[in-house]
Amino acid sequence: MEIKTEQYRICYDRETTTVSFLGSLRLSGPEEYQPIAKLLSDIADGDAGKITLNLQQLEFLNSSGISMLSKFVIGVRKKAGVQMVVQGSKSLAWQAKSLKNLQRLMPALILELV
């Protein structure tokens, strides 16, 4: 599965159950994030025991996007037996600050900043 525009690309690898985000997400409001939220929801509703979000190449994510990811993490937290891993980059300032908040929403979430 893939969502692609000139500004960003989101692709899902079924074998590794990894969703990779690349580029810059500056969509305006929850409505524009709906296709991405649906993709994430469909993955969470599957039988994956582990879901990895690779954000290392996501240069920017606005507040609407952070809200969408937060809602997704809360949804995964409610599912029994699903491990959540978020991979980020220390070199992107917004990730070092914002991704730690996802861990507050789901204490079992594994945050890997490289």
Domain spans, the chain: 2-113
The CATH number of 2-113 is which of 3.30.750.24, 3.40.50.150, 3.40.640.10, 3.40.50.1450? 3.30.750.24
Partners of 52 in the β-ladder: 18, 85
Sheet of 8-13: strand order equals 2-4, 8-13, 18-25, 50-61, 83-88, 110-113
Share of the chain above pLDDT 70, in %: 100
For residue 78, give the H/E element and its range.
none
Within 10 angstroms of residue 52's Cβ, the number of other Cβ atoms is 18
Going through the chain in order, the beta strands assigned E by DSSP cover: 2-4, 8-13, 18-25, 50-61, 83-88, 110-113
Distances (CA, A) of 25 to 3, 22, 47, 57: 12, 9, 28, 11
Query: What is the value of pTM for the model shown?
Result: 0.94
pLDDT at 99: 95
The sign one gets for the Cα dihedral 10, 46, 108, 13 is negative
Please write the tens of the pLDDT for every residue from 33-75.
999 999 999 999 988 899 999 999 999 999 999 999 999 999 9
> Taking all residues of the chain, what is their mean pLDDT, rounded to a whole number?
95
Rounded to whole angstroms, how far apart are CA atoms 36 and 80?
23
